[in-house]
Amino acid sequence: MKKIIVIPGDGIGKEVTDSAVKVLKKIDEKFQIGLEFEYRDAGGTAYDKFGEPLPAETLDACKKADAVLFGAVGGKKWDNIDVDKRPEKALFGLRKGLGLFANLRPVKVYDALIDGSPLKPELVGGSDLLIVRELVGGIYFGERCESEIYNGVERAWDTEIYSVPEIERIAKLAFESAKIRRGKLTSVDKANVLASSRLWRRVVIELAKNFPEVELNHLYVDNAAMQLALNPKQFDVIVTSNMFGDILSDEAAVIGGSIGLMPSASIGELTSFYEPIHGSAPDIAGKNIANSMGTILSAAMLLRYSLNAEEAAKNIESAVDKTLADGYRTADIYQDGFKKIGTDEATEIICDRI
Ligand code: IPM
Ligand code: MG
């Protein structure tokens, strides 16, 4: 049996993971993978029940699992509690605790959605890129100070630290990803300003010697942000630090049409972790209107990377493709003339196409 820990989390997390689990069950009937699901709490929901956003038991269960499927955490309700108890803390605890060092965020443009893109169709059409974001280092995990008095004024600070092994580990995975894609890697940094970026660039250049078949270039993050909007087709794989990757991957989601469609995989030392890149959207929670395709496509990545079930992964991806091509749209991607569907209906329609 393959054990999958499901963490619905908060807000629409429950609906989107319910939907993805139904799709995985359908896939399991067809491919006989032997999937077994167990549920755990994290985020605000866990805080309400146990006083902790990430109960130790949740982390332990994840460590022993073949893979983790995650919904989303956060919500206004928990905005004013102590920083250490905030729902987002669960995500950081899972990332650090499971050693999830590489966050893969593929961006693909669906032909069926191209006309709904806020960007020009000829500009985004055919874009296919992968953002490889470092996930357990940098400014997210550096030493910080929430408040101190310095020279008579209050200030706060964060630190960005990267070590050579941390950069090598993420860059190696990015080179390997580029090698099996179109052979192009763009490393994004801010080496004109930051010391940590200058080390980043030096280490990436050194590692490139081991990957002569991959064409490497470097962009400063400000220019990368502009290039993503100007000409996304120039990119194959992008590798970058934790914070730059956070920012660029939201920008890149626009190229793909909707953040609701974007999956992600976080590759770890102990297990790997799969989640849509959208948040918990508390305003639409429980209304059966959330787009669960990002989570369903994350489940496809789970099959691909954790269970080595490529055929099953492709089956899910093509079922989503067909659903869109057949004119079905959830509210976030709805346009006049298409068939509007809710979360439950979308799940059924996708299952029917498996
Ligand atoms: C993401 C999210 C998180 C992050 C938030 C929820 C803390 O934006 O996964 O991209 O910044 O990493
Ligand atoms: Mg983000």
- Ligand 1, atom 10, lies closest to the CA of 246
Q: Which atom of ligand 1 is nearest to the CA of 264?
A: 9
Residue 256's identity, in one-letter code, is: G
Q: Are 329 and 336 within 8 A, CB to CB?
A: no
Tokens of 92: 């950081």
Q: How far apart are CA 217 and CA 234, in angstroms?
A: 11
- Ligand 1, atom 12, lies closest to the CA of 246
- Ligand 1, atom 4, lies closest to the CA of 246
The yes-or-no verdict on residue 162 having pLDDT over 90 is: yes
- Ligand 1, atom 6, lies closest to the CA of 88
CA of 51 to the centre of ligand 1 (A): 22
- Indicate which residues carry an active-site annotation: 140, 190, 222, 246, 250
Q: Which atom of ligand 1 is nearest to the CA of 73?
A: 6
327: left (phi over 0), alpha (psi -120 to 50) or beta: left
Hey, which of 246, 250, 273 would you mutate to test ligand 1's pocket, going by the most ligand atoms within 8 Å of its Cβ? 246
Using pLDDT thresholds of 50, 70 and 90, give the confidence band for residue 160. very high
CA of 247 to the centre of ligand 2 (A): 6
Per-residue pLDDT at 112: 85
- Spatial neighbors of 134 by CB under 8 A, at least 6 apart, are 101, 102, 103, 162, 166, 167, 170, 239, 240, 241, 242, 245
Higher pLDDT, 235 or 121: 235
pTM of the model: 0.93
Q: How far apart are CA 51 and CA 46, in angstroms?
A: 7
The yes-or-no verdict on residue 116 having pLDDT over 80 is: no
Three-class DSSP category at 64 = helix
Exposed, middle or buried: residue 293 (CB in 10 Å: 0-12, 13-18, 19+)?
Answer: buried
Q: How far apart are CA 250 and CA 20, in angstroms?
A: 22
Q: Which atom of ligand 1 is nearest to the CA of 91?
A: 7
Q: How far apart are CA 139 and CA 284, in angstroms?
A: 31
Q: Which atom of ligand 1 is nearest to the CA of 74?
A: 6
Residues with CB under 6 A from ligand 1: 88, 91, 246, 277
The per-residue pLDDT of the chain, averaged, comes to 96
- Ligand 1, atom 8, lies closest to the CA of 246
Q: How far apart are CA 122 and CA 124, in angstroms?
A: 6
Tokens of 189: 């940094």
pLDDT per residue as tens digits for the range 165-188: 999 999 999 999 999 999 999 999
What length is written for the chain? 354
Q: Are 288 and 312 within 8 A, CB to CB?
A: no
Q: How far apart are CA 328 and CA 340, in angstroms?
A: 6
Cα 18 from chain centroid (whole Å): 18
SS3 content of the chain, % helix, strand, coil (to 5): 50, 20, 30
CA of 354 to the centre of ligand 2 (A): 30
Mean pLDDT to the nearest integer, 312-336: 95
